[in-house]
């Protein structure tokens, strides 16, 4: 079984009603909740992180930008906000320096992320090489945009990452069905993110509420 990280995001940015949403899902039992560093202002992100922790969940922030200066600025914001885990970014050594002695766990992007919404370049060999490098640098794991891949099969990338890291392997982006959840778990992932597919109903097209869709994702995890 893998951890389900519910991202309060749609089209790669935090939804404007994220605070109302976090309050509304309190009884569903989602234990991992995240957001992106774009879409709402810093004050809202501070409050959102506070409410996630008050709900007893682990908080995540995923860096959207692949531009170096913007990504490092996002890393600084993550330390100020006080998230539990920071996902994404490619300037690994610099990000680790920014995090410093804080308790934040860092899981950078493996491969070659480009654009927004982000797509992923890189072969399985490239992914494995990145994962080994991240381990040597002291990262807690890897953030892999497997189903955004442009050069390789998503499951091959997951298996390559799993073979090269003992850290936490998080699969992010375009996970929109129980079939993909089963596939990522079978390939060795520890966790995965879903945001848009919950908000737009593509994961559970017959369900009308976000809470019902979240319960379907949790049920798919247990069944995988």
CA distance 34 to 85: 9
Residue 24 contacts residue 51 (beta carbons within 8 Å): no
Query: Could you tell me the pLDDT band of residue 184, with boundaries at 50, 70 and 90?
Result: very high
Domain total of the chain:
1
* Best CA proximity match to 37, nearest among 46, 48, 45: 45
Whether the per-residue pLDDT at 95 is higher than 80: the answer is: yes
pLDDT in tens, 52-72: 999 999 999 999 877 788 889
**Mean pLDDT, rounded, for 7-23:** 95
pLDDT of residue 69: 84
Domain interval for residue 42:
3-223
CA distance 211 to 26: 9
Mean pLDDT of the chain: 95
Q: What is the domain-level CATH number for residue 209?
A: 3.20.20.70
pTM of the model: 0.96
- What lies within 8 Å, CB to CB, of 45 at 6+ separation is 14, 35, 37, 61, 77, 81
pLDDT of residue 1: 86
φ and ψ of 129, to 5 deg: -60, -45
pLDDT in tens, 145-158: 999 999 999 999 99
Find how far residue 33's CA is from the centre of its chain: 9
């Amino acid at each position: 079984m893998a951890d389900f990280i519910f991202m309060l995001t749609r089209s790669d940015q935090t939804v404007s009603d994220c605070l109302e949403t976090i309050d509304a899902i309190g009884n569903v039992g989602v234990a991992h909740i995240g957001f992106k560093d774009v879409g709402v202002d810093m004050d809202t992100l501070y409050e959102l992180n506070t409410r996630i922790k008050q709900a007893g969940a682990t908080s995540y922030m995923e860096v959207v930008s692949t531009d170096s200066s913007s990504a490092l600025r996002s890393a600084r914001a993550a330390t100020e906000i006080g998230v539990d885990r920071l996902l994404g970014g490619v300037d690994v050594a610099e990000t680790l320096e920014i995090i410093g002695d804080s308790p934040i766990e860092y899981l950078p992007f493996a491969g070659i992320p480009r654009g927004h919404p982000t797509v992923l370049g890189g072969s399985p060999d490239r992914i494995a090489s990145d994962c080994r490098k991240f381990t040597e640098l002291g990262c807690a794991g890897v953030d892999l945009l497997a189903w955004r891949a442009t050069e390789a099969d998503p499951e091959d990338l997951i298996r390559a990452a799993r073979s090269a890291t003992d850290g936490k392997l998080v699969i992010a982006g375009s996970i929109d069905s129980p079939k993909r959840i089963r596939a990522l778990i079978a390939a060795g992932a520890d966790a995965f993110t879903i945001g848009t597919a919950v908000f737009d109903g593509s994961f559970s097209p017959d369900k009308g509420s976000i809470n019902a869709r979240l319960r379907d994702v949790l049920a798919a995890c247990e069944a995988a």
